Structure formats: C-alpha cells, structure tokens
Structure 1
Amino acid sequence: MIDVLQLSPYAPDEINVELQDRFALFKYWQIREDEDLLSQILPRIRVVATKGDIGLDGDLMAALPNLELITVYGVGFDKIDLDQAKSRGIKVTTTPDALTDAVADHAVALALASTRRVAEGDSFIRQGKWLEGKLGIGQSLRGKTLGILGYGRVGQRVAKIMRDAFDMRVLYCDRSQNDKRDGGYRSTPLELAAESDVLVLAASGNPTTKNIIDINVLEALGRTGLLINIARGSLINTQHLISALEARKLGAAALDVFPDEPNVPNELISSPYTTLTPHLASATIETRLEMGRQVIENISSWHQKREVFSQLNFLKTSTSFKFT
C-alpha cells in the first residue's frame, strides 16, 4: 500500500472510509501534535490528500522528503507552495470537471437570490415583518448584461446557463481571448465591469489576482450592479467592497467565498445589500462523491501506473492576468 497523508476529512464520510480501505492512510488532524509519531510517519509519505481551501504549505511539504503527489479535493491550488512542488518534481492534481456544474449552478442561485430577494424574503417572513407591510420589488436578470472574470470551465458554464435561460448578453475577461471571432472579450476587469449589470468572479486565486476587484471596478459596476463571487475571496478588496456598498456606489454583492474563512466581516453580515453563503458552491452529494472518486483514482493510478489525470500545468498557473 502507498502511504497517504490526509490533511482534513472529506464529506460524505464514505470517501474517508474508502481511502482508509485502499491506502495506508494517516489522518494529519489526529496526529499533528504527536511529534514522535510524525517523525516516524512523515518520511514515509508519498501522497498528500488535501482540499483547495487548505492546500499544503511550504513547511509541511519540506518535512515530506519522499512526497511525489499532492491531490486536491477541489480546484483551488493557491494555498499550495507551487514553487517548491515544481522544483521537487511533485505532481499536483485537482478535480475540476467534478464540480463545474455545481459551482455554476450556485452562481445562478446567488444571482436569483439577490435580484429576486429570496433570502431577504425568507428572513422578512420569519421576523414577522410581512404583517407590517410588503417587502418591495426586485429586479429581473432577463436581457441584462453578464460579465464573467475568468472564462474557464465554470465561467463558460455560467455563461451558457445565463444566456440560455435568461437571454443575457455575455461578456468576459480572461488571460487571453477565448475566440478571436467572439465580440464578448474585454481586456480588463474595469472595462468588463463598466458594461456589466452582473459581474461573476470565476478566476483562480493567486498573487496576480489578489484584490483585482478594487474600488474602481466596483464603482464601474455601479449603483445597480451585482457582484457575485464563487471563486476565491482573495479576488476582492474586502474593505473597498464594504465602502462601495455603504456609500451605495455598488448595488449588491452575493458571496460564497471570503478571504479569511470562516471569519466574515460584520459589515458584510449586517449589510442589507449582501447575500452570503458559507463556501458551499460545490456542496452537493453528487459533486462531492465525484470529487472523492477522482482523488482516490488519482492516488491509485499513481501507485499502480505512475500516471495521474487532471494534473496541474505549472507553466499555465504561472501565467498571470496582465492588464494594460
């Protein structure tokens, strides 16, 4: 059996059970304080099974001299020391295809929840406010312009759903133009926001995209604009977002991710202009089972054939968003 260090339990639990049955599994969250045990186990580890929001930091990676593979339950890799992984020839895999539909669906759900005041309406009834008067009206998505920052699997899936279901005009901004015949490409987030009614963030989190959504972009999106983030909390300058909402320079924000999870600023929690969910865009039983299956199959394939799928392309991840 190949020695695997799992950094955090997965859900549903049947994934953890299968990992335990198929590999020599060590649960880091149970042994991390036992230095004597770690000194025996860490040199044996050839695979780390982690999550996108946990990653693998440089110190722990350095303590694993025989590490060959990092397999991520998710698509995020911004919390992995990629420089060290690349220099040591360590493979990194993710589970991108498994969660594309679920994350895209959640972006649509957030768009509807915010524009049609679904979450607000639920709270309105529960607090007895309907007895005092009506909530008020929302807005329609139909015929509006959708901007997407990050036009990969999720971004393109969101575009298709919104175009087909709501007749939205779709614009996008990415490292490069998806199709030179496509008139929807915009070269900067600022340009994209200025033409959008709804702006969906679907870009990777990395140093070049940190705080890429700043006050200028938020003001360009405008007083009736909706910002949706189902990517990484680091993409948004949170203080700029709070200021824009409070000054009514941005219409609303619907957020599933935050920079310091699970800590969410009180200003966002108390704002009447936010719809918030606790990083659950991929949290369907079907999606999580498929993510777990891909993690397990990657480990098995590496152990048996020295092959993996959904391998991270280090050259591509080093290509930053560069805007002029």
Structure 2
Amino acid sequence: MSKPKVLQIGPLSERFNRELAEEYEVSALWQQAEPLAFLRERGGQFLYMVSSARFGCSAEQLALLPNLRAICSFGVGYDPYPLQLLRERGIALSTTPDVLNDCVADLAMGLMIDSARRLSAADRFVRSGAWSSTTGFPLARRVSGKRLGIVGLGRIGEALARRAAGFAMPVRYHNRRAVEGSPYQHEPDLQALARWADFLVLTCPGGQATHHLIDAEVLAALGADGFLINVARGSVVDEAALIAALQKGVIAGAGLDVYEHEPQVPLALRELDNLVLLPHVGSASVETRQQMADLVLDNLRCFIASGQLLTPL
C-alpha cells in the first residue's frame, strides 16, 4: 500500500522529520531548487500539508495546491496563514495549543524577573570584570507585589496569572470581551490597564486585529516605572515606538522573545541595556517541543483516518 503524500513546508526537528517520513511519503518544499515550479508540476498530488507558525504558507503556494484538504501546523500562531482563503476553500487548519502553555508562561515570568531585577545585565557586569573595579551593581526593582496587566487572557495568559499568584501580584487583563467566570478584573481600556500596571505582558494572538496594538500612547501610559514583556508576536508592538520609549526612559524596561522582522533584531534594540532579548524560545524546551511534534502527527493521523482534526483552529 502506498503511503499518503504529505507536503512539508519547512524543517522541524530531526526526530519529527524522521517520524513523519516513516509514515508518509514526504516532499520537503524547502529542499526544492524551485519551490513554486515544483508545486506547479506536482501540487495537485497533495491532500495534506505540515508547516509551522514560523513558515506558514502563502496564498501563492495555496493556489498551486488545488486538492489540499488539511494543514497541520507546529505552534499556536496562525498569523502566517491566509485564513480567509482557507475558509473559502474549506481547508482545515490545526495548531498545537495547551501543550506549550506552561513553557511560555514560565518564560514570561522569567522575563519579568530578569527585566526588573536586571539578572542578564548583572551577569554581564560580573563577566566583564566590572565588579572588582566599581562600587557595585546598581539597584534593581522588586517583582513581588507589583501589578500585572495581561493583554490577551487566553490559555497562556491564565497560566501566567496563576504563577503571579505566587508573587502576590494583583492581576487585571485586557480582552475584546470579558472572560466569563474569570477571577481577574477585566479592563476594556488598554491604556487604562497600562497606567495601572507595573508589568504589561502580551500573550495575545498576532495578525491584523492586534497589529501595533502596543503603540506610543500605550507605552506612555505604562510609564517610567513600567515594564513591557512580549511573548506573543512581534507584530503586536510598534517596534519603532518601543525603541524610542526605551531610549528616552518613557518606560523602565522590556523583555522580548519576539520581534517584528524575525530573525532580524534592530541594532537600536541590541544596543540598549534596559531590556532583555531572547531568540523566540517561548516553547523551546525538550519536553514541550516533543509534545508539540507529537500533536502535529496525531492531528495528521486523525484527519487522514476520520476527516477530523484533534485541535482545529
């Protein structure tokens, strides 16, 4: 019996690539010398696609896949997919929710602590030899008891709020609509939430609806004692406005795991010392990445067997 044909847009882990190839006849699009020419010739063969929140797929690619029925995506982000086109064509899309909630929430908490207590900066201070030649490292700011504003109280936001309870942090959140049954106070005005918060943490989806949601006005409302933490999508923040706010002391600092044009990070950000920069590693633990890979495979198996996805968008 021939294996089902699967189009894979970009590479994932070696283990995932191997397991996928054991069960399916996989065509690796990134290995093709002329990807679009390959799709023009063979695109009609593929009913199933595997991709990720990093690679997504374009409308141009979809146009060359007339028989595509399902996309199984690695990650929770769906902004790199043309959703309206998928809906019009009836193409199912799955993501990998829940399994990465804890890792991303852990990272957000770590960025809050690092940004306020300046752990990375203190590490650089010691490594440079400055400790022995100065009066000491500057004072930092406390985290416990500070006010936490969460933009996007979904699964990750709720996981972060639970962690904040251990730090005795009051929590409020901003969503388009209040979350029914939530114990946390809903703040419909984003600027009001920023004015109240000591830490404004972004855990919302990307896409047009949240593009540059955090602009110069929100940063000004957060103020000179406030910290911005972004574990959502780079597009949620107006990066130019953030650079200006950090340079001018409009906000105290920031912790970023995501950027507008990854993997390019502006020199202006890299030169600043009042922020922590991470290379989009929110879900990057061995355990979580394996759970995500397993869920992609389970979604693909389920759809091929039943026409249904386990975790449809």
TM tier relative to shorter chain = over 0.9
Partner of 1:7: 9
Q: Write out per-residue CA displacement over residues 17-36 of structure 1, whole angstroms, 9 at most, x where no aligned residue.
A: 10010111111110152666
Partner of 1:152: 154
Alignment of 1:117-128 (within 5 A): 117-128=118-129
Query: 2: CA distance between counterparts of 1:255 and 1:236?
Result: 10
Query: 1: CA distance between counterparts of 2:184 and 2:101?
Result: 24
Query: Which runs of 5 or more structure 1 residues have no equivalent in the other structure?
Result: 313-324
Q: Write out per-residue CA displacement over residues 298-320 of structure 1, whole angstroms, 9 at most, x where no aligned residue.
A: 111111111111101xxxxxxxx
> Which of 293-302 and 135-144 deviates more?
135-144
Give 1:87's aligned amino acid.
E
- Asked if the contact 1:147/1:196 (under 8 Å) is kept, the reply is yes
Task: Give, in angstroms, the shift of residue 110 of structure 1.
Answer: 0.6
Task: Give, in angstroms, the shift of residue 213 of structure 1.
Answer: 0.3
Secondary structure of the 2:100 match is helix
Secondary structure of the 1:279 match is coil
Partner of 2:304: 303
Query: 2: CA distance between counterparts of 1:94 and 1:208?
Result: 19
Query: 1: CA distance between counterparts of 2:114 and 2:53?
Result: 26
Secondary structure of the 2:7 match is strand
Q: Write out per-residue CA displacement over residues 131-164 of structure 1, whole angstroms, 9 at most, x where no aligned residue.
A: 222112211111110000000000010011011x
Query: 2: CA distance between counterparts of 1:61 and 1:37?
Result: 13
Tell me whether 1:270 sits opposite 2:271 in the alignment.
Answer: yes
Task: Give, in angstroms, the shift of residue 40 of structure 1.
Answer: 3.6
Partner of 1:167: 168
Task: Give, in angstroms, the shift of residue 39 of structure 1.
Answer: 3.5
Query: Which runs of 5 or more structure 2 residues have no equivalent in the other structure?
Result: none
- Asked if the contact 2:39/2:65 (under 8 Å) is kept, the reply is no
Q: Percent identity?
A: 35
Tell me whether 1:203 sits opposite 2:197 in the alignment.
Answer: no
Give the alignment's Cα RMSD to 1 decimal: 1.3
Task: Give, in angstroms, the shift of residue 188 of structure 1.
Answer: 2.1
Alignment of 1:101-250 (within 5 A): 101-133=102-134, 134-163=136-165, 165-179=166-180, 182=183, 184-250=185-251
Partner of 2:283: 282
Partner of 1:20: 21
- Asked if the contact 1:223/1:250 (under 8 Å) is kept, the reply is yes
Give 1:130's aligned amino acid.
W
Query: 1: CA distance between counterparts of 2:216 and 2:21?
Result: 48
- Asked if the contact 1:103/1:154 (under 8 Å) is kept, the reply is yes
TM-score by length of 1: 0.93
TM-score by length of 2: 0.96
Aligned length: 310
Task: Give, in angstroms, the shift of residue 179 of structure 1.
Answer: 3.2
Q: Write out per-residue CA displacement over residues 66-97 of structure 1, whole angstroms, 9 at most, x where no aligned residue.
A: 11111110000001011110000000100011
Give 1:241's aligned amino acid.
L
Task: Give, in angstroms, the shift of residue 62 of structure 1.
Answer: 1.0
Query: 2: CA distance between counterparts of 1:158 and 1:183?
Result: 12
Partner of 1:51: 52
Query: 1: CA distance between counterparts of 2:249 and 2:40?
Result: 55
Cα 1:172–1:303 change in 2 (3 A) is same
Q: Write out per-residue CA displacement over residues 81-133 of structure 1, whole angstroms, 9 at most, x where no aligned residue.
A: 11110000000100011111110110011111111111111111111111222
